[in-house]
Chain A
Amino acid sequence: MRKNLNVIAAYSIMMGLIILVGIFQSWNIALSIFNLCLISAVMTMGANIQWGYAGLINFGIMGFTALGGLAAVLISVNPVQEAWSAGGANILLSIFLIIGIILAVRFVLKRYQKSKIRNYIIVAIIISGIIIIRLVSEPGIEAIEEVNPARTGFLGGLGLPIIFSWIVGAFFAGGLAFVIGKVALGLRADYLAIATLLISEIVIAIIKHEDWLTRGVKNVIGLKRPAPYEVNLQETEWFINIVEKFNSGKLALISDLSERQAALNQFVIEGSSVFVKLCYSGLFLVVVIILLILTQKALYSPWGRMMRAIRDNEEAANAMGKNVVKQHLLIFVLGSAIVGIAGAMLVTQDGLFTPGSYRPLRYTFLIWVMVIVGGSGNNFGAILGGFVVWFLWIEAAPIGLYLVNLTTAGLEDTHFLKVHLIESVPYFRFLMMGIGLLLIMRYRPKGILPEKIEIK
């Protein structure tokens, strides 16, 4: 108990802050901050596994998040039958062709010795394959995108409950991570960072522009929900009763019957959105707790010890007979899969998939700030980092406004400097993140909750 005091203290302060937001702003805002904190926590756990456990830099978090989001779309949206009949055959054929090309390249790689001719053969196979695929897929894609472009224009998904996508998202992201890992993990740390950053941009470009699969920048809206809809809740008997019970004190003060009814309606509307957010919080909490248990178990297992050994001294670990390349690949896939889960959760919560919104600043660099600030190598630290940084990211604007008002109190309201500063309040969050990161890196380089390994 004693040695965990700082963890408990840090988490209580964080929860206290969120509760304060609930009391002073509104419970709705507090809960939406809390939910996104949980999603950020999942992302940071993924990044922390890679960076904290194994020392791998992954600046491609944005790409894995987007793939998780794509999984949510492909699982939950109902299939568009017309599109399938219009161009499904071509698409399926192209997929088989891609598999064929990969098999052919593998065959050539296995069968022939390393030589220039082999390289030329591989290049020839790939180029001719791409040309054939374009010829096959083009008419199919055009046909699919012409099916009711305003509402569908894509193949749709499988029509399953969206919860499944959390697992599928993990597989998508893990699969991509496997490919990237095979290609790029041999690179030095900073090269790996740049390579993953650029690869994630390629992923986003594909998601943005392959309309037949993702609807691209036209966005997919109105995804299914694992939680009830507010409108339905507002009409159910038991929910209204609960709200009435909760607010009985306030309602009793109002004597007029019709006024009381109006007040009750207001409470029901507010309560319904709070209730829906609570449902999400519950689901997300389950994910976070399961992941936390698994990652903690892994950290203290022989496997975790081996990972730390590899991180701290690759050559020594290699000399001890540990397969560094394989373990790096494994941990890269695992961490990315966790990020994929977070991506699917994010889309589930928003109920919409907007490929245009994936930007490296928000989905890669901010997550890295969270990991560094929270404490890399420590799961509790990583989660805390997700909470603290997201809380500041959202609350930076009000805090900035307060500071601007405080420092320019002497100026008139119409003074150009004050007007300009108040207009640019949203950008104070960048300033806060940057200065926060720099201060933490300088004075507490291991993060708020540093890594602490005890052998149990």
Chain B
Amino acid sequence: MDFLNAFILLLNYIFVPALAYGSQLAIGAIFVTLIYGILRFANFATGDMMSFGTMVAILFTWYFQSLGLSLGFLPTALLAIPFAILFMSLYMLIIDKFVFKYYRLNKSPPVQLAMVSIGVMFVTQAVVRIIIGPSDRRFFDGEKFLIKANEFKVMTGLNEGLAIKSTQVITIVVTIILVSALFWFLNKTKTGKSMRAYSDNEDLALLSGIDPKKIVMITWMIAAILATIGGVLYGLDKSFKPFTYFNNMLPIFAAAIVGGIGNPFGAFLGGYVIAFSEILLTYAYKKFFMYVLPESMEPDGLIQLLSTDYKFAVSFSILVIVLLYRPSGIFKGKIL
């Protein structure tokens, strides 16, 4: 029996990766939920908007690299994010002006807006693929590991190593900063409060003199920030591929709905719920039990609840269960 090793094992293979993946999902889910709460439609272009933002960031990263700029042990992409956000806001506002505005002013049903967002999805996807191509791209530079597995073993004298990638730490730190700034903005500033009012009851908000144009514009700009940062963090941690980003839309939707769509805090936690359940349910616990149980009781099989092939299926099943028993999500949705 060796609880310390077992603990490090779980930390290394479950907790740290799930925390990083969960943060990436959480940012995406807040993006979905903001659009849903304020602009009132399910945005099927989520994944592709994120890939657009990431693409712009990658192009800037390459440009900075060609200039010889770098942040030392941090990835250059962090430097590119502000510029990418600018471009992304511009792109979002242009899309809004030419596509979504018409339907918003006509008070079209949400379904129609969702259909329109599919059109935007196709166009964005085409633009991304035409500009940067469909292949896998890694744009990470700088120090790869914060703690290497071997160093950790030597340092502590344990059997199990703990490897922490710098991208994981960056993801978590950036998420904390971003999300706390966002909640501060929504809860403490006047604009944020008027956004929440608009989301809660449009007519009353308009009656009390809130300018809908301003609300919509700010929503798109926040959406641009979230999409770009979420996309870049995912791309740094894994890699950038337009098709993967499109697919990521599905767990992001699951996170947003599980948390209660329209509720940013719910979406934030929903991201972690999805990430942790995906990894917890598909991890093979054999080694863990080898440490925890006495030798005579060692398991034969992998002790894996579900094969890793069903990773996505786990989050979708959770979503279906939540939809059945609590359609408004774990945290009551539809209030910003």
Binding site for B on A (CB under 8 A): 57, 183-184, 187, 189-191, 193-195, 197-199, 201-202, 205-206, 208-209, 361, 365, 368-369, 372, 421, 423-424, 427-431, 433-435, 437-438, 441-442, 445
Contacts and interface: CB of A to CB of B under 8 A. Distances in A.
19 contacts: A183-B324, A184-B320, A190-B110, A190-B111, A191-B257, A193-B42, A195-B323, A198-B253, A202-B317, A365-B121, A368-B118, A427-B134, A430-B125, A431-B130, A434-B121, A437-B118, A438-B119, A438-B123, A442-B102
B287 interface: no
Contact of B246 (A191, A201, A361, A421): A361
A189 B246 CA distance: 22
B313 A205 contact: yes
Contacts of A195: 319-320, 323
Contacts of B17: none
Q: 4 closest pairs, A vs B, by CB?
A: A434-B122, A434-B123, A430-B126, A431-B126
A430 B323 contact: no
B41 interface: yes
Interface string B67-84: 000000000000000000
Nearest to B124: A434
A421 B102 CA distance: 32
B114 A190 contact: yes
Q: How large is the interface on B (under 10, 10 to 19, 20 to 34, 35 or more residues)?
A: 35 or more
Interface string B110-137: 1110111011111111110110011000
A122 B218 CA distance: 47
Nearest to A131: B305
Given A427-B134, A428-B126, A438-B120, A187 B250 contact: no
A445 B119 CA distance: 13
Contacts of A208: 309
Contacts of A183: 320, 324
B307 A209 contact: yes
Nearest to B310: A205
Given A209-B307, A423-B133, A427-B134, 6 more contacts: A198-B320, A199-B316, A199-B320, A201-B250, A430-B123, A431-B123
A381 to B, nearest CB: 16
Contacts of B319: 194-195, 198
Nearest to B311: A205
A363 B122 CA distance: 14
B162 interface: no
B297 to A, nearest CB: 18
B212 interface: no
Contacts of A372: 115
A27 to B, nearest CB: 30
Given A193-B42, A195-B323, A430 B129 contact: yes
A198 B250 contact: yes
A270 B114 CA distance: 45
Most buried by B among A197, A365, A424, A438: A438
Nearest to B118: A365
B99 interface: yes
A183 B319 CA distance: 12
A277 B41 CA distance: 43
B143 to A, nearest CB: 33
Interface string B224-248: 0000000000000000000000100
Interface string B91-119: 00000000100100000011110111011
